[in-house]
Amino acid sequence: MPSVVPASAPLPTLRWDVFCRVVDNLGDVGVCWRLAQALASAKQQVSLWCDDTPTLQWMAPAGHPRVTVRAWPSASQAMDAELGDVVIEAFGCALGPTIEAALPRPAHQAPRLWVNLEHLTAETFAARNHTLPSPVWSGPASGLVKTFFYPGFTPQTGGVLHRPATPPPAHEPPPPVQPYALLFCYEPQALAHWLDWAHQHQLTVFAAGARTQAACAATGHTHWRALPRLSQAGFDQWLRASCINWVRGEDSLVGALFAGHPMLWQAYAQHDDAHHAKVNTLLDWLQAPPSLRHAWHVANHMAAAQAHWLPTPGDATWTTWQACLAAASARLQRQAPLHQQLLAWAASRLA
């Protein structure tokens, strides 16, 4: 892995362009907004180009003074702003010929940095491929180099985006004081059983998102409540305050890990079951006890639910889960966050 400037060295103020396409369930724009905001809070100038800008009106209603939200240009449109020093292609979103044609700089200027920000995974290839260069041989950007930046859970990767406790908008409902469970899943087979378990232990279930709420309604259960649409800061607050979280995707996974409470994670299912490796390698990183590993397998249709596959709040199994997740949260807190690693990497290339 190439060297980067020391964390104590002053970092230059750069102009960043983050490109995001919303593919499924808004996780893409959630991560990209969080990254843009983190870079801007580090005194960088950021443009976030997105093909679904209306989502940001409720996800980040306050915006950020150093972040300019721009609509993704169509194939027939010209760029309405000059690209900055670093261009981030989030999750391989394919910039297209119009944007790629704007990437090259005159020979007398420092080359523009082009980064492909990959999906988060605990799989070993993340460390192996982190910051590998990939020359571009064809198209408008021929001759440039794209660098693959891999978020991850170990110091050999790019880390994850941390979660500052940003106050949510005043009009949003605060989490309840009494213990509750937060649910943000797809359509797990064990959902009805999990709702039974929560009701048995007097945990109110708050279901977030239309897809999750539809899945709950399909079970016929009535012992759950629909969580209204929240800003990113508001949803983070609900994750931190919940005594158990069942989440999906990437951004909510990291939030639940930082919360440090018992949790389940449902990975995005892939037709070839490639998500099984994502689940198992993350469980390995967690150093998950067998009971937690089995529960995650049930949540991801990798195992049939056994009797007592979920713990009783406060019992020995619950305490073991709590200790496991608290330790994982502490490890993440000690790791340099993704935006700082991107800043240091860019500074080392432009020095």
**Residues annotated as catalytic (active site), given as ranges:** 28, 250
Helices H / strands E in the chain, number of each: 12, 12
Angle at Cα 115 formed by Cα 112 and Cα 120, nearest 5°?
165
- Residue 57: half-sphere exposure toward Cβ, Cα within 13 Å: 4
Task: Name the one residue in this structure whose structure tokens are 């990113």.
Answer: 232
DSSP 3-state assignment of 344? helix
What is the DSSP track for 134-201?
A: EE--SSTTTT-EEEEE---SSTTS--------PPPPTTSPPPPSS-EEEE--S--TTHHHHHHHHHHT
CB 19 within 8 A of CB 90: yes
Q: In Å, what is the CA distance from 44 to each residue of 108, 163, 343?
A: 23, 18, 9
- 233: DSSP letter: H
Cα–Cα dist 166/164, whole Å: 6
Task: Name the one residue in this structure whose structure tokens are 């919360």.
Answer: 259
CB 32 within 8 A of CB 60: no
Cα–Cα dist 44/16, whole Å: 7
- Here the tokens at position 291 are 């009971």
